[in-house]
Structure 1
Amino acid sequence: MLALLSMIGGGAATARDAAVPSWPDTPLGRTQALALLQTLNADLLSHDSATLTLERWCGAHHMASPARVIAQRVRGGDKPLPRDLRTQLAIDANEPVKYRRVQLKCGDRVLSEADNWYLPNRLTAAMNRQLDSSDVPFGKVVRPLHFRRETLSAELLWSPLPAGWELQRTQTQSAAGALAIPHFVLQHRALLFTGDGRPFSALVETYTGQVLAF
């Protein structure tokens, strides 16, 4: 991994460089990018807190110092709870639901954008006040609930390698310049449950190409 970082980074990045992932558009570069996306995906799937997982990722890849993830609120507008997620939460139309959209940032990089529908009646008054008045990540606010996470789906929105690449007799041809990485690369849909097994939050987390910006 150190060799990979040296090859890709080359030197100290400017603020503008930090905003745009720069990977060589070569068979090796594409394979390494895919391996890292799959590694992050597996790490997210094996832990209950996406926030803490992203902090570890940010720290391990020296993306910011300190490697601390903050939730930047995206205010204005609401988004209705999708019908399938209402069913998963096992609530009727009368149950109060709050909506919170955030960008999870480490340093100057937005690593994910998350839609969060949560049930305020299943949180403490102090938690609700903090969620209403601060940008603290949801997972950190509700940590005292000793929650667990159940992933409903995990989808790679982009693959650096084309479908069927492993069956091709020749390698993917290199292109000039850097690999074009889309804004969104990975999406998870999940539920959070309290320690006694009651669902209290539904999440749609969409991870950006900035997870590869190192």
Structure 2
Amino acid sequence: MRAPSDVQSERLCLLDDEAVRYRHVSLSCGPYILSKAENWYVPARLTPEMNRLLDVTEEPFGRVVHALFPKRRNLKVHRLWPKAAGLPGRSDLVFAIEAVLSDRAGRPICEVSETYTGAILALGDE
């Protein structure tokens, strides 16, 4: 378990007694990892079924909470692969995004940190 930083806790607008859970998943297509995502989320702001799915599956967070009509606000985008280095390999880290997801009422439910690999740029059967 990775606790949220003070900045993340502030962005999640945590109340004193609210717990935060941490989740780490890899999103893949066939044998290739497309991205890795770390989520810090507030279980009290989700339904019991959403919490169960997050506990026992590797379903992407956004898919699990889609019924909340989440709105995503990107905070930072970091380029990790230098432009001058040419095309990255499938496992090379290309860019990272930090974002906050809020429910329909605007209440933050999750902070996510995603790192994408060169596999997202691959063409066909290469």
Q: TM-score, normalised by structure 1?
A: 0.53
- Contact 2:81-2:88 at 8 Å conserved across structures: no
The corresponding residue for 2:59 is 136
Higher normalized helix content (fraction of residues)? 1
Identity %: 39
C-alpha distance after superposition, 1:23-74 (max 9, x if no partner): xxxxxxxxxxxxxxxxxxxxxxxxxxxxxxxxxxxxxxxxxxxxxxxxxxxx
Over the aligned positions, Cα root-mean-square deviation in angstroms equals 1.8
Aligned mates of 2:114, 2:72 — CA distance in 1? 13
Residues 1:180 and 1:89: Cα distance change in structure 2 (over 3 Å):
closer
Match of 1:96 among 2, 19, 27: 19
| Structure whose CA Rg is larger | 1
Taking the TM superposition and a 5 Å limit, the aligned residue runs for 1:67-106 are: 78-106=1-29
Residues 1:179 and 1:199: Cα distance change in structure 2 (over 3 Å):
closer
**Offset at residue 213 of structure 1 (A):** 2.5
Taking the TM superposition and a 5 Å limit, the aligned residue runs for 1:1-214 are: 78-161=1-84, 181=89, 183-214=92-123
Aligned mates of 2:39, 2:88 — CA distance in 1? 29
**Offset at residue 83 of structure 1 (A):** 1.9
Residues 1:134 and 1:180: Cα distance change in structure 2 (over 3 Å):
closer
Higher normalized strand content (fraction of residues)? 2
C-alpha distance after superposition, 1:146-199 (max 9, x if no partner): 01000010111112327xxxxxxxxxxxxxxx8564721100000000001100
- Contact 2:88-2:118 at 8 Å conserved across structures: no
Aligned mates of 2:98, 2:14 — CA distance in 1? 18
